[in-house]
Amino acid sequence: LRFTDAAPAPPPGDALNKEACLKALAQLRHAKWFQARCIYLQSCQVTLRILRDIRARIESWRPLNDWMCELLVEKVLSSCLAPLSVGDALRRFFEAVASGVLLKTGPGLPDPCEKESVDVLAPLTGQEREAITASAQHALRLIAFNQIYKVLCLERLPDVRPPLTDRKRPMDTSNASDEVKKDKKEGENGHSAEEENSSGVAVKMEKMEFGSRI
């Protein structure tokens, strides 16, 4: 008997969708990558939560999906050698986006979970890239002028610093009283010295008069 190449059997009617399966496998690879690279990266998860809130509030940020934000935040924070606080991490992210990293003339954002070279930012249009860049520049200006509460859509916290009128140096009463006592003491010593000098002069004059009489 000779074995011939048989045609592949058609998939059963209840088979899963191939595209859905590939998408699920890609999401699984993304989750493993996130656990390996972002779990122990300081301020990464909090920054991603803030970006998720910004994407829900601002329309220009909605074209970014979770995978794009995770890659961007990981690239931005891992390039800094020192650990960053949440505020510094958020500002560094806006600085990177405001510099034009999302534009078509930028370096792109390769997918680390794919064997082939795939740009994660490819689905974004030119208008969407420019809108996100302009929004990041505006947010960066607000942060520079100490108005980050507008970026986070929060109420401004009360200023804990004292007003300018209350910044006068308090008067040290103890030193002032010591100076007054010192001045009084010096004045008394001066008066006593003058009295002694005057009495000495009077005694000398009396002696001179007494000598002339003799």
What domains can you pick out in the chain, each with its CATH number?
A: 18-152 (1.10.1410.40)
Helical pair 66-78 and 86-98, crossing angle rounded to 10 deg:
110
Q: Which of 35-44, 90-99, 153-162, 180-189 has the highest mean pLDDT?
A: 90-99
Contact criterion met (CB below 8 Å) for 89 and 49? no
Q: What is the mean pLDDT of the chain?
A: 80
Q: What is the mean pLDDT of residues 71-90?
A: 92
Phi first, then psi, for residue 26 (nearest 5°) are -65, -40
pLDDT score at 144: 93
First-residue to last-residue Cα distance in the chain: 171
Question: What is the spatial distance between Cα 89 and Cα 151, in angstroms, rounded to a whole number?
Answer: 14
Output DSSP code: residue 5.
-
pLDDT at 176 over 70: no
Give the side-chain half-sphere CA count within 13 A for 122.
6
Using 50, 70 and 90 to split pLDDT, how confident is the model at 49?
very high
Contact criterion met (CB below 8 Å) for 120 and 40? no
Question: What is the spatial distance between Cα 132 and Cα 101, in angstroms, rounded to a whole number?
Answer: 10
Using 50, 70 and 90 to split pLDDT, how confident is the model at 100?
very high
Question: What is the spatial distance between Cα 119 and Cα 101, in angstroms, rounded to a whole number?
Answer: 13
Question: What is the spatial distance between Cα 59 and Cα 72, in angstroms, rounded to a whole number?
Answer: 19
